[in-house]
Structure 1
Amino acid sequence: MIKNIIFDFGDIFINLDKMATYKAMAKLGVTEITEEMMEVYHRYEKGLMSTEGFIKFFHDKFNIPKNNLVHAWNAILLDFPKERLSFLQELAASKKYRLFLLSNTNDLHIKWVQNSLGAQFYNDFKNAFEQFYLSHEINFRKPDTNIYEFVLKENSLKAAETLFVDDLEENTISANSLGIHTWNLIPNVDDVTELFEKNKQLL
């Protein structure tokens, strides 16, 4: 029996254009993503590097104006459909499940989200969850299994009683390896508002 639901954020609640940052960076002259760049990105997403240090890395390496870099970095972030927030709030109000957010999110992205959505919308979203875990604040990132182990342990959750919803298959495979039930939601095919239609074990 499912008692807990852990949701991802990007392409679950807020829409993403996953290629937008690559395209924007290419326009700034960064056409190849190197291992070093990915390592810096992962360190930043785990909160092991400051926003200032992250921006400085790209500025120094590619001589990109800092404002242009921030704009390109945030290009991935799109809209947050209101019906998804309404669905989440109804789910939270039902008190049938313990709800958690678990997102690979960095400081620049979450600040853009807060400014874009506005304080009321963002707080309504955040307050629907019992715990709101962002990778840069807890120093773990998906698909590393230790991030799921952290959430389970911190909240005394049983994997067999937990459903994890994420748009990336590598993340759901990793969570499932610990015995967590998963829904690999496919953007533009599935929608989080279809949670109960697509996950009969919740009924």
Structure 2
Amino acid sequence: MNTANDARSQNPCLCFDLGGVLIRNAVFTGLPALLPAGQDLSVLRQRWLHSTVIRRFESGLCSADEFAQAFVQEWDLSISASEFLQEFYRWPEGFYEGVNETLQALRPHYQLACLSDSNSLHWQKFADLLSVFDPALSSHQLGIMKPDVAIFEAAAVRLQREPQQIWFFDDMEENVITARSAGWQAWQVQGWDGTRAQLAALGVLL
């Protein structure tokens, strides 16, 4: 009898967003540097989150080059599409310190998964890090973005779990609300410190 697999099936699936939860993302420091000074960060954040260009790219509906050209035009940047793409590629900086070690320690006891609004460029960049997840799910592969409830329904099928067996951690309130409406157990967290604290509060062995 494989006791590790037995424990993983009995314990909840731990499913994480990536940017702002497990991965340090410099988008809201890098983006303002490309724009005229003095723009309100909260306005930029909302504009980014609701950008049609970004949503097309992170739903897998256009190539990286098409995305860059459209983004430069939409945001009226003074750099070329190729220069922007180089900046965009650098913004996610990798796991916060301690994340990989903790995930590796949890892996024998829990099914670990991620569900992220992401794109082909960043997914390829972090391919080695994402190997810790079973499975790693991205909006650009599923063709749906959070907070659409359909992405949580599709993810539950891929995870081969009942919705109530999935514990989800995301930094965006609307994603947490939608996950709960799909039957998932979900918590809003900020960064690795917040995620780690929430896991500990839930009794997850760290």
**Normalised TM-score (structure 1):** 0.78
1:15 corresponds to which of 7, 24, 27: 24
Please point out which of 45, 60, 71 is paired with 1:47: 60
Q: Which residue of 2 aligns with 1:6?
A: 15
**2:33 paired residue among 24, 29, 44:** 24
Q: Indicate conservation of the 8 Å contact 1:21/1:74, yes or no.
A: no
Number of aligned residue pairs: give it: 188
Give the deviation of 1:74 after TM superposition: 3.8
Q: SS in structure 2 opposite 1:15?
A: strand
Helix, strand or coil: the match of 2:144?
coil
Hey, which bits of structure 1, 4+ residues long, moved more than 4 A?
A: 30-35
Distance in 2 between residues matched to 1:79 and 1:132, nearest whole Å: 15
Note closer, same or farther for the CA distance 1:67–1:105 as it changes in structure 2 (3 Å cut). Answer: same
What does 1:93-172 align with in structure 2 at a 5 Å threshold? 94=108, 96-111=109-124, 113-114=125-126, 122-123=127-128, 125-172=129-176
% identical equivalent positions: 24
- The 8 Å contact of residues 22 and 191 in structure 2, kept in 1 or not, is answered as no
Would the alpha carbon gap of residues 27 and 70 (structure 1) be closer, same or farther in structure 2, given more than 3 Å must change? farther
- For 1:66, the equivalent position in structure 2 comes to 81
Structure 2 residues not aligned, in runs of 5+? 1-9
Q: CA deviation at 1:2?
A: 4.9
| Equivalence for 2:3 | none
- Give unpaired runs (5+ residues) of structure 1: 115-121
The reply on whether 1:178 has 2:182 as its aligned counterpart is yes
CA contact (8 A) 1:2 1:163 kept: no
Residue pairs, 1:181-196, within 5 angstroms: 181-187=185-191, 190=194, 192-196=195-199
Aligned residue among 105, 113, 116 for 1:90: 105
How far apart, in 2, do the equivalents of 1:182 and 1:39 lie? 27
* C-alpha displacement of 1:27: 4.7
Superposition CA RMSD, Å: 2.9
Contact kept? 1:44, 1:51, Cα under 8 Å: yes
| Residue identity opposite 1:145 in structure 2 | V
SS at match of 2:25: coil
Q: Quote the Cα distance in structure 1 between the aligned partners of 2:193 and 2:96.
A: 15
Separation in 1, partners of 2:131, 2:123: 15
SS of the equivalent of 1:102 reads strand
Structure 2 CA distance, aligned partners of 1:2 and 1:26? 46
> Matches of 2:36 and 2:123 in 1, distance apart?
24
Pick closer, same or farther for the CA change 1:20–1:74 going to 2, 3 Å: farther
TM-score between the two structures when normalised by the length of structure 2: 0.77
Tell me the residue number matched to 1:117: none
